[in-house]
Chain A
Amino acid sequence: MHDFLIAFIGGLMLGLSVVGYLYVNGRIAGISGLIGQVLNSKTMFKTPAIWFLSGLIITPFIYGLFVQPEIELNASPLMMIVAGLLVGFGTRLGSGCTSGHGICGISRLSKRSIIATMTFMFAGFVAVYIIRHITGAF
């Protein structure tokens, strides 16, 4: 199967998941938002976030027993630490990530989310350009 089709099918699953979470649990499945809810003692057990995130972590463990998806992770520990700090701080400051702004926000046609998505995509393009084509790493 073509890469594009496989990616599209994976995308359909992500879409079904966020629609289910909206219509069953009544909330936006933005992963950075869910992490924020779990880390806050006031909302930790008041929202289903902890259940969604458990599914997100446990399923790959079981899935991996049957099929190991192709994973290539080349970032050094230092790069992962810098990236993690930026992702954690940035998603909270900007109120969302690829799922919340990208999938759910664009589906709502929220101007705010569309602008956020274009902005983080652009920042991602620039970061990769600098790292791969200016500094020559990877």
Chain B
Amino acid sequence: MKNVFAFLFGALFSVGLMVSGMSNPEKVLDFLDLFGDWDASLAFVMMGAIAVAFIPFQKALRTAQPKTVFNEPIDLPRNNQIDKKLITGAVLFGAGWGIAGICPAPSFTLIGLGHSQVLYFIVAMLVGIWIHRKWSGA
């Protein structure tokens, strides 16, 4: 049952990406192109998402032992450390995002839409995750 919901949330997420334009790599690049013909619209994607998510997330955060609707514990990250890994990782991710205009979720949306050339990106992304695992010894 919970898995069906998880599937539906993934489905809703992909529709959100397609409706908003986040799944269109060229639009993402236009959004990241501050010094060109800047397309600001994708900033509104983040605003819409946070407008919905802010209060429920804050509520979970401020509850001593937050529970799901199935009365199971909600697992929230508690790490607050700003370290070299966080910054280096964000720089590398941002650079990759700016090269192709694709972040992890839209890569899956694009393959679902049948844009098979995105497989170059997806396979490389999986290899990148694998390299990180080997390198960090996890």
Q: Which residues of A contact B (CB under 8 A)?
A: 3-29, 31-32, 35-36, 39, 48-49, 51-61, 63-64, 68-75, 77, 79-95, 97-99, 101-104, 106-112, 115-117, 119-129, 131-133, 138
| B6 in contact with A125 (CB, 8 Å) | no
Q: Which residues of B contact A (CB under 8 A)?
A: 2-27, 29, 32-36, 39-54, 56-58, 60-61, 68-70, 72-77, 79-82, 85-105, 107-115, 117-118, 120-133, 136
Chain B residues lying within 8 Å of A115, measured Cβ to Cβ, are 82, 86-87, 90
A80 to B126, CA, bound (A): 13
A76 to B89, CA, bound (A): 24
Beyond A13-B20, A99-B13, 12 additional contacts (C-beta under 8 Å) are: A7-B41, A14-B16, A24-B5, A25-B5, A26-B75, A79-B100, A83-B96, A85-B127, A86-B93, A87-B103, A98-B104, A111-B82
CB-based A-B contact count at 8 angstroms: 468
A133 to B43, CA, bound (A): 22
| A63 in contact with B57 (CB, 8 Å) | no
- Chain A to chain B: the 3 pairs with minimum beta-carbon distance, closest first: A94-B89, A88-B128, A11-B48
| A54 in contact with B10 (CB, 8 Å) | yes
Chain B residues lying within 8 Å of A87, measured Cβ to Cβ, are 92-93, 96-97, 102-104, 121, 125, 128
A-B contact pairs, 11 of them (CB 8 A): A9-B20, A24-B68, A59-B112, A85-B128, A91-B104, A99-B13, A102-B46, A112-B81, A127-B94, A128-B98, A133-B36
Chain A residues lying within 8 Å of B122, measured Cβ to Cβ, are 84
| A21 in contact with B9 (CB, 8 Å) | yes
| B113 in contact with A86 (CB, 8 Å) | no
| A69 in contact with B127 (CB, 8 Å) | no
Chain B residues lying within 8 Å of A112, measured Cβ to Cβ, are 79-82, 86
